Amino acid sequence: MECMEISLEGLNIYARHGVMEQERKVGNRFVVDISLSYPPALEAARTDTLDSTINYAELAAIIKETMETPSFLLENVALRIRQAVMSRWPETSAGKITVRKPAAPIGGFRTDGGPSVTLSW
């Protein structure tokens, strides 16, 4: 089956996720990448209309809204993003979400990329 892949990369979102109380109080910068396989987007390619595809602005808004609810784990954040996306676009046949915390407080270390979690389906 033919399918379009729709991606948003490098969404910088300030949120309050983490196990440490300070992370949940002060917050941190997170970076979200998402890629979705969406068969109906082929129709959008043929007709050049937004109605048959995933609106990037709406996708970004859903991710931002989901990130507003604090979580202890990045795994939970990724799962909740997937649930919100699938609720809005159930025709999505596959996807991949990566959530990174570039400035994670890892005792005694400075990281360039920080920890990340990737959820694929």
- From the number of C-beta atoms within 10 Å of its C-beta (0-12, 13-18, 19+), residue 110 rates as exposed
Give me the catalytic one of 25, 64, 96, 101.
101
Instruction: Tell me how far apart the 2 most distant CA atoms of the chain are, in Å.
Output: 54
Alpha-helical runs (H) found in the chain:
21-26, 41-47, 56-67, 74-88
> Is residue 101 among the annotated active site residues?
yes
Residue 67, token pair as written in the block: 């990130």
> Could you give the residue numbers annotated as active site?
101
